[in-house]
Chain A
Amino acid sequence: MLILAKAALGLGATMAMAGVYVFHEGVIRVDVDEHRDGGSHVHFWVPATVVGTGMHFVPKEKMQQTAEQVRPYLPVLREVAKELEKYPDAEFVEVTSGTDHVRVAMSGGKLRIDAVSAEGDVVHVSVPAPVLRDVTDELELRVPGV
């Protein structure tokens, strides 16, 4: 009984630590709702750590190809990603037109893009700022000289 309790405690502590590690960079959240017939509804939450780690497992050629495609934008992406982390709570762009609404802001250290259309379509994307930097760094590694 005692051994079982110790094993459970060890397992619990390991799970807790794994949870803390996996979620310490926050969560990437994407919600898309198209309110029309056949409209898509996409909702997913991904721990940000998974993106950084996952990029190491993407086939080298694919990463190289992607990096080459975004190469012209990498210097800008790098600077934007670096700067965004300095403004954990700020509103950058807000466009309102009738019932259409688009907002790009930093909230709690996450880049948030919210869009609501007059037809009721809704898109919410939330990405922790450090993830943008990690992705940029990883892509830059694939195209040296940027």
Chain B
Amino acid sequence: MNTFRGYLGLGFAVAFAAATFLPWVAIAQNTSVSSDGKSEQWIHVRVESKEDHGEVVRVNVPVEMAEKVLPAIDKDNLHDGKVRIDSAHANDVDLRAILDAVRSSRDGEYVTVQSNENDVRVAKSAGYLYIHVTDKSENKKTAGKIGKGGGKSAAGHESKVEIKVPIKVVDALFSAGKDELDIVAALKALSAHGDMELVTVKDDENTVRVWVDSKNVAD
């Protein structure tokens, strides 16, 4: 009988301890399920240096987290999730007017520049704005050096920048007042789109990729 009482006491103690402990486990599980359950968008940035022992930087940020945290930052030009841009940097170009013109126009190539130093292509297609820039100036410099030294081809010594942004995201970006970029609005618009490659930069020294998908780790 006494042994039974002992076991009963032990049982109560374990039950009480479990009652104290289990809610925390349950909360943790709920959090995990809710955060995994819905398809969240993540922004990934990967920078790879091509040098020996080159650096690799991987940054993965949930879009939702960025939307919440950015408005809390009040530093330099960033306030309330908006970046103030110095109008001087725009060289008196009315970006908003240009954007309106692009948005209301039909799909097509708007800018095509081909020169010895740069190739630039700005186009709109299927709701996306494409900006492709190939900088050949490095190619020329290298070719000059190689020419003096006499020898190998300089092919491939150029940097390429490819940007693909949904027009809705660009709209959102410029939706704030004049001289401001609304980063949070752009992120919200971005999260509505599916997986996509946003920016690719390739040159001799580095490769940079910025993309959005629903994975919480980089490739």
Contacts and interface: CB of A to CB of B under 8 A. Distances in A.
A88 interface: yes
A88 B31 contact: yes
A92 B60 contact: yes
Interface string A69-97: 00010011011101101111111111111
B65 A20 contact: no
Nearest to A9: B9
A87 B216 contact: yes
Given A87-B216, A91-B216, A20 B17 contact: yes
B58 interface: yes
Contacts of B62: 83, 86-87, 90
B5 to A, nearest CB: 8
Contacts of B57: 93-95
A85 B62 CA distance: 12
A22 B58 CA distance: 36
A94 B44 CA distance: 11
Contacts of A87: 35, 62, 65, 216
B162 to A, nearest CB: 24
A58 interface: no
B20 A24 contact: yes
Contacts of B6: 5-6, 9
Contacts of B10: 9, 13
B4 interface: no
A134 to B, nearest CB: 14
B78 to A, nearest CB: 11
Nearest to A93: B59
A17 interface: yes
Nearest to A5: B6
A16 interface: yes
Nearest to A95: B57
Given A6-B9, A9-B13, A88-B28, A79 B69 contact: yes
> Range of interface residues on chain A?
35 or more
Contacts of B61: 92
Given A83-B64, A97-B53, A97-B55, A20 B20 contact: yes
B205 interface: no
Given A87-B62, A91-B217, A96 B13 contact: no
Interface string B35-66: 10000000000000000011111111110110
A12 interface: yes
Given A83-B68, A83-B69, A92 B59 contact: yes
Nearest to A104: B59
A144 B69 CA distance: 20
Contact of A76 (B16, B17, B21, B72): B72
The 8 lowest CB-CB distance pairs between A and B, nearest first, are A13-B13, A98-B53, A75-B72, A97-B55, A83-B65, A90-B216, A94-B58, A79-B72
Given A91-B217, A95-B57, 11 more contacts: A9-B6, A21-B20, A25-B24, A80-B65, A83-B62, A86-B62, A88-B31, A88-B32, A90-B62, A91-B60, A95-B58
Interface of B: 2, 6, 9-10, 12-14, 16-17, 20-21, 24, 28, 31-32, 34-35, 53-62, 64-65, 68-69, 72-74, 216-218
